[in-house]
Amino acid sequence: MRIGIDVGGTNTDAVLLDDAPAGGVRVLAAVKSATTDDVTSGIVGALTGLQADHPFSPTDVDAVMIGTTHFVNALVEARRLAPTAALRLGLPATAALPPMVDWPQRLVDAIAGRGYLAHGGHEFDGRRISPLDPDELRRHAADMAAHGVRSVAISSVFSPVTSECELAAAEIIAEELGQDVPISLSHEIGRVGLLERENATIVNAALRELAAHIVDALAGAVQGQGITAPLYLSQNDGTLMDVGYTRRYPVATFASGPTNSMRGAAVLSGLGTCAVVDVGGTTSDVGVLTAGFPREAAVEVSVAGVRTNFRMPDVLSVGIGGGSLVRTGEPGRSEGPTVGPDSVGYQLTERALVFGGDTLTATDIAVAAGRADIGDRSLVAGLSRELVTAALDRIATDVADVVDRMRISADPLPVVAVGGGSVLLPDAFPGLGAVHRPENFAVANAIGAAIAQVGGEVDRVYAIEPGRRDAVVDAAKQEAVDRAVASGADPGSVALGDFDEVPIPYLPGNATRIRAKAVGDLRLERRVTR
Tens digit of each residue's pLDDT (9 = 90 or more) over 361-378: 999 999 999 998 889 999
Instruction: Please state whether the predicted TM-score (pTM) of the whole model is above 0.85.
Output: no
Give the pLDDT mean for 419-445: 86
Which has the minimum average pLDDT: 77-81, 127-131, 219-223, 292-296?
A: 292-296
449, pLDDT greater than 50: yes
Tens digit of each residue's pLDDT (9 = 90 or more) over 233-270: 888 777 888 888 889 989 888 777 778 888 888 888 88
Distances in whole angstroms, Cα of residue 177 to Cα of each of 139, 143, 187, 456: 11, 10, 21, 32
Computed over every residue of the chain, the mean pLDDT equals 86
Tens digit of each residue's pLDDT (9 = 90 or more) over 158-198: 888 788 999 999 999 999 999 999 999 998 887 778 898 99
327, pLDDT greater than 50: yes
What percentage of the chain exceeds 70 in pLDDT?
94
Which has the minimum average pLDDT: 128-137, 139-148, 206-215, 326-335?
A: 326-335
Tens digit of each residue's pLDDT (9 = 90 or more) over 70-99: 787 788 778 889 999 999 999 999 999 999
First to last CA, the chain: 18
Give the pLDDT mean for 441-458: 84
> Would you state the pLDDT for residue 336?
78
Cβ 93 vs Cβ 121: under 8 Å: yes
Q: How far apart are CA 437 and CA 430, in angstroms?
A: 17
Q: Model confidence at 67, in pLDDT bands (50, 70, 90)?
A: confident
Cβ 190 vs Cβ 205: under 8 Å: no
> Would you state the pLDDT for residue 156?
95
> Would you state the pLDDT for residue 22?
66
> Would you state the pLDDT for residue 377?
93
What percentage of the chain exceeds 90 in pLDDT?
36
> Would you state the pLDDT for residue 527?
42
Q: How far apart are CA 86 and CA 77, in angstroms?
A: 21
Instruction: Note the Cα 201 to chain centre separation in Å.
Output: 16
Cβ 284 vs Cβ 278: under 8 Å: yes
> Would you state the pLDDT for residue 528?
37
- The length of the chain in residues reads 530
Quick one: residue 343, left, alpha or beta (phi over 0 = left, psi -120 to 50 = alpha)? beta
Q: How far apart are CA 322 and CA 363, in angstroms?
A: 5
332, pLDDT greater than 70: no
206, pLDDT greater than 90: yes
Give 312's contacts (C-beta < 8 A, 6+ positions apart).
236, 254, 255, 296, 297, 301
Quick one: residue 224, left, alpha or beta (phi over 0 = left, psi -120 to 50 = alpha)? alpha
> Would you state the pLDDT for residue 530?
34
